[in-house]
Amino acid sequence: MRIGVVDQTAAGWVAAAVYSRTILSSLDAACNSAGVELFFLSGGDDESDAKFRAKRMRLASTDYLPAEKQLRKLFGLKEKSRALRGEARLRKLLRLRGESDLFGVARENSINVLLPLLDLPPWRIAPGTIGWIPDFQHLHLPQFFAPPDLRQRDTTFRRLAEKATVVMLSSEAAHDDFERFAPEYANKARVVPFPSLLAFDDLKDDPVAVRDKFHLPEKFALVANQFWAHKNHALVVAALARLKSTGVRVPVVMTGLPSDHRDPANKNFSALLQAIAAAGLNDQITILGLVPYSDLVSLMRTAALIIQPSRFEGWSTVVQDAVALGRPLLCSDISVHREQVPGALGFFPTDRADVLAELLEAHWNKLTPGPNSLLEQDSLAAEREFSVRHGQSLLRLCAETAQRSPT
């Protein structure tokens, strides 16, 4: 069996890159011990990927059709940045394979199974395919999507359900949504929760140095989400405003990409900044934006508390990182958080700033800044055991997929 892990790194979605490398890391160890060949199909050039035993197969970001480059130059058109509409079907009809053709590369290298796939072409694919649907947010929170985005997600997810050999979901909550969304394909669903990427590396950096670099207070709470509307940062601001009126001060640091493709004018982020200023919390809330992953890990290690206020998740990487580091958590009261971290300090409804304020007031004085080396060691040991189970689950799923796929 030959397995191909597809790099799903996408601009504007940090979690896709993390997820791809979590899959690669878990399978790298499992395949090595089982004698299974593993490939990593990627168009990127991340030096950190060199640590994997998987064979690297480079995919071009895009290819030119015959004579297309010359015609573009002749007519003064800019360089090609993505495939043309309908180009994949045209290439199939003309039997033209390029270096960006994921499935052609897989076929030529006798790869039996590809994962994780966020979409599939409508025609028959030779390798076995494991589709991945991160979540069904658009069904629960349609107000955060434009009508074309809603239609696209519906179409893509239905195509995955129909065409993929099996469909991988990260939580029982997502599995329930899949059964309601595509009941005729419910038998394809497989739930595979994933560990933190921290399970595969040793903690090296001095986390206090990063805290000092950003001139942060010794004790702070951390919100580590991209600044998307459904991540619900505004609820944290409202809770802090309530606490301020009673004389309770909780410094908060917020990190994450400060943009959302669904909100090109960044209205949500602007509204958040204005809410902070209007509440007089500029000296209490520090927004760092997107920080290097190593810095984010250091901030999580030193934070006295991690708050996850999101209105919807498929399986939260922030929560899993906090679990891997043994950091205290307050989470929004959604089903996946209850499933993922039942031992959190507390849960609050996504529209109840008063409940979050009460939880913060009840716990803040008892919490201490990190890092806590003993707790980190124990938590990471448990997370590494989880990663081994995750790799074995993926390997079994790949074997099942190879057996079920057409020849």
The residue type at 310: S
| More confident of the two residues 201 and 76 | 201
Rounded Cα distance, 290 and 254, in Å: 9
Distance CA 49, CA 39 (A): 12
pLDDT given for residue 310 in this prediction: 98
Domain shared by 138 and 281, yes or no: no
**Residue 268 is assigned to a structural domain of this protein:** yes
Q: Which of 81-90, 97-106, 177-186 holds the top average pLDDT?
A: 177-186
Q: Nearest CA to 342 among 321, 319, 363, 325? A: 319
Reply yes or no on whether the pLDDT at 284 is more than 80: yes
Measured distance between the N- and C-terminal CA atoms of the chain, rounded to whole angstroms:
13
Residue 16: its H or E element: helix 14-34
Task: State yes or no: pLDDT of 280 exceeds 90.
Answer: yes
Per residue in 141-199, pLDDT (tens digit) is 999 999 999 999 999 999 999 999 999 999 999 999 999 999 999 999 999 999 999 99
**β-strands 189-191, 113-117 pairing:** unpaired
Residue range 47-74, pLDDT digits in tens: 666 778 899 888 766 555 555 555 556 6
**pLDDT higher at 104 or 226:** 226
Please indicate whether residue 77 or residue 110 has the higher confidence score (pLDDT).
Answer: 110
Q: Which one is predicted more confidently, 17 or 322?
A: 322
71: in domain: no
Beta bridge pairs of residue 6: 41
Binning pLDDT at 50, 70 and 90, where does residue 91 land?
low
One domain for residues 35 and 162 = yes
Model confidence pLDDT, tens digit, residues 391-402 = 999 999 999 999
Whether the pLDDT of residue 78 is over 60: the answer is yes
Q: What is the pLDDT of residue 74?
A: 63
State the pLDDT confidence band at 98, using cuts at 50, 70 and 90: low
Q: 347: which strand partners?
A: 331
407, 348, 403, 5: which is closest to 166 by C-alpha?
403
> Is residue 105 domain-resident?
yes
Q: What share of the chain is helix, strand, coil (3-state, %, to 5)?
A: 50, 15, 35
User: Is the residue at 78 inside a domain?
Assistant: no
The beta strands (E) that lie in 271-342 are given as 285-289, 305-308, 329-332
User: pLDDT grade, residue 83 (50/70/90)?
Assistant: low
Residue with tokens 């090609």: 80
| Confidence band of 103 (pLDDT split at 50, 70, 90) | confident
Q: Is the peptide bond before 371 cis (omega within 30 degrees of 0)?
A: yes
CATH (domain of 34):
3.40.50.2000
Which letter does DSSP use for residue 238 in this model?
A: H
Q: Is residue 56 part of a domain?
A: yes
Q: Mean pLDDT, the chain, as a whole number? A: 90
Per-residue pLDDT at 225: 96
Query: What residues are paired with 330 via a beta bridge?
Result: 307, 346
* Distance of alpha carbon 165 from alpha carbon 36, whole angstroms: 20
Same structural domain, 269 and 225: yes
| Same domain flag for 179 and 261 | no
**Same structural domain for residues 350 and 260?**
yes
- Shared domain for 389 and 242, answered yes or no, is no
Give backbone dihedrals phi and psi of 369, rounded to 5 degrees, phi first.
-65, 155
Q: Is the pTM of this model over 0.85?
A: yes
The string of pLDDT tens digits covering residues 112-134 is 999 999 999 887 777 899 999 99
Q: pLDDT class for 404, splitting at 50, 70, 90?
A: confident
How confident is residue 104, by pLDDT bands cut at 50, 70 and 90? confident
Q: Does any domain span residue 88? A: no
Examine residue 137 and state whether it is found in any structural domain, yes or no. Answer: yes
Q: Which domain holds residue 146?
A: 2-60+99-192+385-404
How far apart are the C-alpha atoms of 354 and 205, rounded to whole Å?
37
Q: Are residues 136 and 176 in the same domain?
A: yes
Residue 90 has what pLDDT? 57
DSSP-based three-state secondary structure for 374: helix
| Contact call for residues 140 and 147 (beta carbons, < 8 A) | no
The mean pLDDT value for 277-291 works out to: 97
Quick one: pLDDT band at residue 282, thresholds 50, 70, 90? Answer: very high
Amino acid at 150: L
Query: In 3D, which of 57, 153, 170, 69 has the Cα closest to residue 103?
Result: 57
Is the domain of 285 the same as that of 394? no
For the beta carbon of residue 217, count every other beta carbon within 10 angstroms: 13
Torsion, CA 6, CA 47, CA 28, CA 170, rounded to 10? -50
**Cis bond before residue 116 (omega within 30° of 0):** yes
Average pLDDT (341-369) is 98
pLDDT band at 15 (very low <50, low <70, confident <90, very high): confident
pLDDT for the residue 125: 78
Claim to verify: residue 288 and residue 305 sit in the same structural domain? yes
Domain identity same for 183 and 124:
yes
- Kindly tell me the sign of the dihedral angle through the C-alpha atoms of 222, 225, 227, 228: negative
* 3 state SS of 306: strand
Which of 150-154, 200-204, 221-225 has the weakest average pLDDT? 200-204
**213 and 144 belong to one structural domain:** no
- Integer Cα distance of 404 and 257 in angstroms: 40
Helices (H) then strands (E): counts for the chain:
15, 13
Neighbours of 146 (CB within 10 A): 10
Number of structural domains, the chain?
2
User: Does residue 377 lie in a domain region?
Assistant: no
CA–centroid distance for 369 within its chain: 26
Q: What is the 3-state secondary structure (H, E, C) of 347-362?
A: EECCCCHHHHHHHHHH
Contact 201, 293 (CB under 8 A): no
Decide: helix, strand or coil at residue 341.
coil
118 and 47 in a single domain? The answer is: yes
Cα distance between residue 361 and residue 27, in whole Å: 43
